[in-house]
Amino acid sequence: MSEPGWERRLVDRLVADAHPVRRLWSPEVRLVVWLAIAVAVLIAPATRVLRDDLVLRLRNPAFVLEQGLMLVGAVFLGLEAVRAAVPGQGAGRASTIVGWGALGLALIWMLREPVHGGWSVDTFLDVGRPCIWRAVAWGAVPWIVLLIALRRGAPLARRRAGVLAGAATWALVCPALRVCCQTDELLHLSVFHALPLVAGAALSAALAPILLAESHAR
């Protein structure tokens, strides 16, 4: 195909617009920066409302394993999210499996707690309200920061990048909730800890095509 006039004009226009751009940091560096910001944002409010029996709970290997798995999931899914913003650095199969696998195991592990049968609906909602509020408030800043990091790149599969960003964010929020919440009960954990994570990932996926649209070279 000989080069048509429109193509020459397009190339001329692109070349004329070729101002210097700031290269994107590597995904690993961006992940570390995001984790640092997210942890800083989470630590301040979480340390004010730590559960009374935290020291005791931290001696329980099952509790520590659950939080550890959640953090591993957050790190790997966060890494995949920032990778998704770089063309050609598609899904790392191993890290995706580790990320989702760790998150799934942590959720299953978390939901092994017994059911408390004696609560009224009002009590159940009263006990859960602070957790929902914290899940939303504590997750908002890390999620927005991660979306900004993704927008600085060029995410091609925006919905995928969105679901990864949401899952990574609320997987990081989950352990913070657990070290603050006194309630180790199946329904409470399902509705007020696990559900915000799932809802956060779903909402992030739904909004990503809009929020991650059109990123430009800087």
Partner 1 sequence: MSTGGDDATGGRGRRRAEWMARAQDGDREAYRALLDDVRPLVLAWLRRWLDDEADLADVYQDTLVHLHRARHTYDPARPFEPWLFALARHCAADHGRRLRQRTREVLVGDVPDVAVEGEPAQPALADALRTLPRPQREAFSMLKLEGLSVAAAASRAGTTPGALKVRAHRAYKALKAFLRS
In the complex, the residues that contact partner 1 under the rule CB under 8 A are 1, 3-4, 6-7, 10-11, 14-24, 26, 85-88, 90, 153-154, 156, 215-218
Q: Shortest Cβ distance from residue 102 to partner 1 (Å)?
A: 27
Q: Shortest Cβ distance from residue 89 to partner 1 (Å)?
A: 8
Supply 150's token pair.
Answer: 């993704």
Own/partner pairs for 93-99, CB < 8 Å, 24+ apart? 98/72, 99/72, 99/73, 99/75, 99/164, 99/167, 99/168
Give 18 or 94: the residue with its C-beta nearer to partner 1: 18
Give 14 or 94: the residue with its C-beta nearer to partner 1: 14
Rounded to the nearest 5 percent, the helix, strand and coil shares of the chain are: 75, 0, 25
Give 29 or 62: the residue with its C-beta nearer to partner 1: 29
Give 86 or 145: the residue with its C-beta nearer to partner 1: 86
Give 83 or 178: the residue with its C-beta nearer to partner 1: 83
CA atoms within 13 A on the CB side of 190: 11
C-alpha–C-alpha distance, residues 105 and 114, integer Å: 17
Question: Which has the closest alpha carbon to 75: 37, 108, 32, 19?
Answer: 32
Q: Shortest Cβ distance from residue 86 to partner 1 (Å)?
A: 5
101 to 95, 140, 164, 206, 209: CA distances (angstroms): 9, 24, 13, 22, 25
C-alpha–C-alpha distance, residues 85 and 208, integer Å: 12
Q: Shortest Cβ distance from residue 2 to partner 1 (Å)?
A: 11
Q: Shortest Cβ distance from residue 210 to partner 1 (Å)?
A: 16
